[in-house]
Amino acid sequence: MALIHDATLSPGKLELLAGWLPGRPWWRGDASALTKVATFRFDDPDGEVGMETFLLRGGDGPLVQVPLTYRAAPLEGAEAALVGTMEHSVLGPRWVYDACADPVHMRVLATTIAGAGREADQELATSDGTRPLPGSASVRGDGAPGLEVPGVVRPEPEDSDDATTVRLGDHVLRVQRRPGTSVDVTGAALRLRQDEGDGLVLATLT
């Protein structure tokens, strides 16, 4: 269960991304005109790291996938993947990272694909208590019976013009930055179930 606080963020998430996206080899579009199409979250089993994946458009650009992690302290060795910092009115300072460089996110993503998992359910926490918070996108892993997801110590992401690839032991996890239905899936995949682009491949695990 992902717990979302009714909080103020400074700067906002899209504001942070507008300054970070230009220059990424896979980014296409106008970063000054970002539109959030949908988001979904995964749950950290240890309850320490927030994980949120954005599906964005920049102006008239294509749909782009940007997974982020939120941490209460800097992630050692991930300086190059720091998107920025923001102040959360409930939780305090947050360090925001490209999730492809975060070991927690990459292990959870691989486990979701291999185990035919889905996105986390969400609850909104307010001063009056908590209530279910409907998500704006649903995802599902294909499942890969018998595949053991190795521990991830420090991912070394490699960006191309349409994806980010991370090696996990003998396996390769590929995050499709520009999701598509024509992606060659040789192993198992994480697929989007959402009004815009049902069945789009978001990531593959081989």
pLDDT score for 96 = 98
What confidence category does residue 195 fall into, taking pLDDT thresholds of 50, 70 and 90?
low
Chain segment 88-142, per-residue pLDDT in tens = 888 889 999 999 999 999 999 999 999 999 999 888 887 777 777 788 899 999 9
Name the more confident of 91 and 156.
156
Task: Say if residue 145's pLDDT is above 70.
Answer: yes
Judged on CB neighbours under 10 Å (0-12, 13-18, 19+), 178 is middle
pLDDT score for 138 = 93
Chain segment 8-59, per-residue pLDDT in tens = 878 999 999 999 999 899 999 999 999 999 999 999 999 899 999 999 999 9
What would the mean pLDDT of 65-93 be, rounded to a whole number?
Answer: 94
Task: Say if residue 196's pLDDT is above 60.
Answer: no
Say which residues have a Cβ less than 8 Å from residue 5's Cβ, sequence separation at least 6. 88, 90, 91, 124, 125
CA distance 1 to 42: 8
Residue of 3, 65, 4 whose CA lies nearest to 29: 65
pLDDT score for 194 = 57
CA distance 18 to 74: 21
Both tokens assigned to 205: 């695990």
What confidence category does residue 198 fall into, taking pLDDT thresholds of 50, 70 and 90?
low
CA distance 140 to 114: 10
Q: What is the pTM of this model?
A: 0.92
41 in Cβ contact with 69 (< 8 Å): no
Q: Please state, for a pLDDT cut of 70, what percent of the chain lies above it.
A: 96
15 in Cβ contact with 56 (< 8 Å): no
pLDDT score for 150 = 77
Task: Say if residue 86's pLDDT is above 70.
Answer: yes
